[in-house]
Amino acid sequence: MAKSPVAIIILDGFGWRPEVEGNAVAQAKKPNFDRYYNEFPHTTLK
């Protein structure tokens, strides 16, 4: 079985909220993050 690379990325202080109004992270231009978020598995912690 071939092994593929794994990355664990922890974004401290990078809150998740679905609303766009008043949400600087959602309104920011962040093409790399958006691509990673849409193309790779992810989760959030509480």
Q: Which of 20, 9, 19 is nearest to 42 (CA)?
A: 9
Q: Are 42 and 7 in contact (CB under 8 A)?
A: no
Q: Which of 16, 41, 35 is nearest to 26 (CA)?
A: 16
In angstroms, rounded to a whole number, what is the distance separating the alpha carbons of residues 34 and 28? 10
Give the residue extent of every domain in the chain. Answer: 1-46
Here the tokens at position 40 are 């790779």
pTM more than 0.85: no
> What pLDDT sits at residue 18?
84
Q: What are 1-46's pLDDT values in tens digits? A: 889 999 898 888 888 888 999 999 889 999 999 999 999 999 888 7
Here the tokens at position 17 are 């909220």
> What pLDDT sits at residue 31?
97
> What pLDDT sits at residue 14?
80
